[in-house]
């Protein structure tokens, strides 16, 4: 059963509409699977693009685990060294008790990556 809207649209077709319909009703061109291969390649690229950022995030996080653990240990050590009434006495803390610059830099980079990843996930 066709609706009245479709029947009215069939009645309003002119010669150009009928020719256009006839062109699209023809058989599909044999392409020996070319269209299927193109579609599969496009889908594969989409999946590669979808997975590349999470995989890079996991690999980077795995690499950053050791420096991050060193940074946390250094912060714990620094907390035991700094007196409770720090006030203006930070200049009295010996430099050998501070974490190495590379560890602090790695922590800053890790925080920046986490912020950027959060913004990417929001989009």
Q: What share of the chain in percent tops pLDDT 90? A: 25
Look up the domain containing 67 and give its range.
4-122
Q: Is the pLDDT of residue 23 over 90?
A: no
CB neighbour list of residue 120: distance below 8 Å, 6 or more residues apart: 53
Sorting pLDDT into bands at 50, 70 and 90, what band is 43?
very high
Q: Indicate the average pLDDT of the chain.
A: 81
The mean per-residue pLDDT over the stretch 63-73 comes to 89
What are phi and psi for residue 32, nearest 5 degrees? 55, 40
What are the tens digits of pLDDT across the range 83-115? 666 556 566 667 677 777 788 888 888 999 999
The mean per-residue pLDDT over the stretch 26-51 comes to 88
Q: What confidence score (pLDDT) does residue 58 get?
A: 92
What are the tens digits of pLDDT across the range 2-12? 555 555 555 67
Neighbours of 108 (CB within 10 A): 11
Number of structural domains the chain divides into = 1
């Amino acid at each position: 059963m066709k609706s009245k809207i479709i029947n009215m649209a069939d009645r309003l077709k002119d010669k150009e509409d009928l020719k256009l319909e006839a062109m699209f009703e023809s058989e599909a061109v044999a392409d020996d699977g070319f269209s299927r291969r193109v579609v599969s390649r496009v889908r594969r690229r989409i999946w590669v693009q979808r997975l590349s950022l999470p995989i890079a995030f996991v690999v980077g996080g795995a690499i950053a685990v050791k420096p991050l653990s060193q940074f946390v240990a250094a912060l714990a050590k620094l907390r035991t060294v700094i007196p409770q009434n720090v006030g203006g006495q930070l200049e009295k803390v010996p430099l050998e008790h501070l974490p190495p610059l590379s560890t602090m830099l790695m922590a800053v980079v890790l925080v920046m990556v986490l912020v950027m990843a959060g913004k990417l996930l929001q989009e």
